[in-house]
Amino acid sequence: MSAPVYTRVALIGLGLIASSMFWAMKRGGLAGEVTGFAKSGASRETARRIGLCDRVCDSVAEAVADADLVVLCVPVGAMGAVAKEIAPHLKVGATVTDVGSVKRDVIDTVGPHLPEGVHFVPAHPLAGTEHSGPESGFAELFDNRWCLLVPVEDSDPDAVAKLRALWEGMGANVDEMDADHHDLVLAVTSHTPHLIAYTMVGVADDLRRVTDSEVIKYSAAGFRDFTRIAASDPTMWRDVFLTNKDATLEILGRFTEELFALQRAIRTGDGEHLHEYFTRTREIRRGIIEAGQDTAAPNFGREAPKA
């Protein structure tokens, strides 16, 4: 077990990411005391019941008072308002970070609220599940996953190094990236795929009305994987699309062009085009497995569902 990286950490928002951070920090002995705050009394009660956080506070001011690190773990659309609320209560020398899935918008909405003498180091762990809430977290969520630090222009190098040590202690591999590049990369790897999954499940839902329960009954791996992604938290994903608008629309435009090309290949019977395309995409899957970011086991290593 390593020495604590921070004496006092405050987690604002107590959902999947915050609860996983808490368990991972406890596992690694990375924080002296962890306080927590969630918007609803129900989430705070759940947190107290399951021992999530050393101290669950009933106000955001109490949670951040005297904290060395404050982590904003709320939906991206709520980050600015939360930053405004915590600002007067932050300790001089504290670091404020976040875990939001979009970075430019968070920098623009949070940054202006933070007082002099408080360090701001935005971050984004590339790890998650379709579950949300205080009971969904687990210590291993970040193991061997990437966490991208997105320092702002005047981020203090020592504050960045300390946050890196925390994420590495929680099991993550850490890289640094510029905010706009982050948002474009994530539009390709996460945001647009989620939109496509939401759309496909929506289409199948329309079809289900026609074919009764066949879509559910015969839901094979491809569709089941879409439904898992499309079960992700509606608030979080609404905010992702509203705040990463330009990059998502750019990638969606390219996606639509490729889709039309494949559509034409199917209509004209151009098997060569389809085969070449699928060979190229298969290589991408191989690369992900070789990089240790997924399993090569059939069906993602899951057991076959009971008939």
Q: How far is the CB of 277 from ligand NAP (least distance, A)?
A: 29
- How big is the site for ligand NAP, counted in residues (CB under 6 A)? 28
Minimum Å gap between C-beta 304 and ligand NAP is 26
Least distance from ligand NAP to the Cβ atom of residue 120, Å: 16
Burial grade of 115 (CB within 10 A; 0-12, 13-18, 19 or more):
exposed
Contact pick of 6, 9, 15, 230 for ligand NAP (by CB under 6 A): 15
Closer to ligand NAP by CB, 4 or 142: give it. Answer: 142
Closer CB to ligand NAP, 163 or 215, in the complex: 163
Of these, 5, 10, 11, 16, which contacts ligand NAP (CB under 6 A)? 16
Q: How far is the CB of 43 from ligand NAP (least distance, A)?
A: 3
Footprint on residues 112-131 left by ligand NAP (CB under 6 A): 124-125, 128
Of residues 4 and 134, the one with the C-beta less far from ligand NAP: 134
Residue 68 or 239: the one with the smaller Cβ distance to ligand NAP is 239
Q: Which of residues 212-251 bind ligand NAP (CB under 6 A)?
A: 233, 236
| Structure token pair of residue 294 | 């997924």
**CB of residue 218 to ligand NAP, shortest distance in Å:** 28
Q: How far is the CB of 56 from ligand NAP (least distance, A)?
A: 11
Smallest gap from Cβ 283 to ligand NAP, in A, equals 26
Given 4, 80, 100, 169, the residue binding ligand NAP (CB under 6 A): 100
DSSP code per residue over the chain: -PPPSEEEEEEES-SHHHHHHHHHHHHHT-EEEEEEE-SSHHHHHHHHHHT-SSEE-SSHHHHHTT-SEEEE-S-GGGHHHHHHHHGGGPPTT-EEEE--S-SHHHHHHHGGGSPTT-EE--EEE----S--STTS--TTTTTT-EEEE---TT--HHHHHHHHHHHHHTT-EEEE--HHHHHHHHIIIIIHHHHHHHHHHHHHHHHHHHHTTHHHHT--HHHHHHHHHTTS-HHHHHHHHHHSHHHHHHHHHHHHHHHHHHHHHHHHT-HHHHHHHHHHHHHHHHHHHHTTSS--SGGGGPPPPP-
Q: Which of residues 24-53 bind ligand NAP (CB under 6 A)?
A: 38-40, 43
Instruction: Assess 76 for contact with ligand NAP (CB under 6 A).
Output: yes
Q: Which residues contact ligand NAP by CB under 6 A?
A: 12-18, 38-40, 43, 73-76, 78, 81-82, 99-101, 124-125, 128, 132-133, 233, 236
